[in-house]
Amino acid sequence: QVLLVQSGAEVKEPGASVKVSCKASGYTFTSNILHWVRQAPGQGPELMGAINPGGGGTTYAEKFRGRVTMTRDTDTRTVYMELTSLTSQDTAVYYCARRASSYWALDVWGQGTTVIVSS
């Protein structure tokens, strides 16, 4: 069974950083691109970027460039998303999602990690 299991909820103060993890199982970790998508309360999903677990290459949405870093650990089959300089606008549920092997869509999603930014 293909699973993506994310780390738990976080509460951060404005200006802080958050690092969310996503552990993959049930498939060849290096075979699929992993994306990070966030969803603010009452809003639609928003793509933040993607990482290729095979070579570690990343691509970030323009909106997040300079504030987001995506990394991976092939030994533990885990990808990470770190977002810095948090503001209240970053309060959202953060998802990792796997790009399907043979078509352009996100076929497996993590359960989501709630990040609340509040003083």
Residues that bind another protein (CB under 8 A): 35, 37, 44-47, 49-50, 59-61, 95, 97, 100, 103-107, 109-112
Token pair 């793509």 is found at: 47
Counting beta carbons within 10 angstroms of the beta carbon of residue 30, is it exposed (0 to 12), middle (13 to 18) or buried (19 or more)? middle
Q: State the minimum distance, in angstroms, from the CB of residue 46 to another protein.
A: 7
Question: Which CB, 29 or 95, lies closer to another protein?
Answer: 95
Nearer to another protein, 16 or 56 (CB): 56
Give the type of residue at 20: V
CB of 116 to another protein, least distance (A): 15
